[in-house]
Structure 1
Amino acid sequence: MSVAVSHDQASGNNVANTSSLLRTYLVEEVIDTDSEDFVKVVHNGNAVPLLALEDPLYNIAQFLCFTQHIQYFKNDGAVFLSDLQDPQIMMEISGNKNIFGDGNVGKVFTLFPKQHICNKYCEWFKLPTVKESGV
């Protein structure tokens, strides 16, 4: 993911102010999900890896689930990233305010404490289980 910044030439004699900011965009590469090289390991519909335990990429999936746990813990249960191939911010949706788009599945966010399964990374970093942390 990259940041693209659009500027406009400023007019006048002030050389220190050579441009003015118009817009800022987040730009990301389009992922070809039909490619046989593409593997989805975690998505925003569930907090567990999509891969089987014997899959060679399962270790990566566990690490990504650990990153969700640490984000959830460090933010006192307020937010975490999901669907890590195409990141989606997940948080509780209050009222009709869904500021992070359709990928923010409020029900799944609420289920995170029940669905997350601590793994070797959570244990190595001595994170409290999501249930124990009280968030």
Structure 2
Amino acid sequence: MPDAFTTRILNVSTGSAERVVDLTHDCETFLSEVAAGRDGLLNIFVPHATAGVAVIETGAGSDDDLLTALHSLLPADDRWQHRHGSPGHGRDHVLPALVPPHATLPVIAGALEMGTWQSVCLVDTNKDNADRQVRLSFLG
């Protein structure tokens, strides 16, 4: 019988621009290798103080809309007390309060159970750190 709990680290390069990176395929691949047709939960966790996980539609502009909304809510200017790094970097440290660093999603019969237009995404506004890790953990 497969392990009840399995975890894997994804290394994701986000580059030097703010990005929303679709991780859905990576999640599905992980589950196809470890879930063995079982029901359970997939936890996606980003161990970074300046990134988050969102479940949103991608490819139709919603990912860009999310970044635009974050710019409105968290402007990259000098208002932030946290002041190291690029100008306005303090906003990146507030991001996880709005886009949490984790999501837990249902797995039914070994497959990710989401709506038709939903995708699992890494949200990274920190232009100073291009190398991210994402931990995928299946409990089932």
TM-score band, normalised by the shorter chain? Answer: under 0.3
Which structure's residues are more often strand, by fraction? 2
Q: Choose 1 or 2 for highest CA Rg.
A: 1
TM-score (norm 1): 0.23
> What is the TM-score normalised by the length of structure 2?
0.23
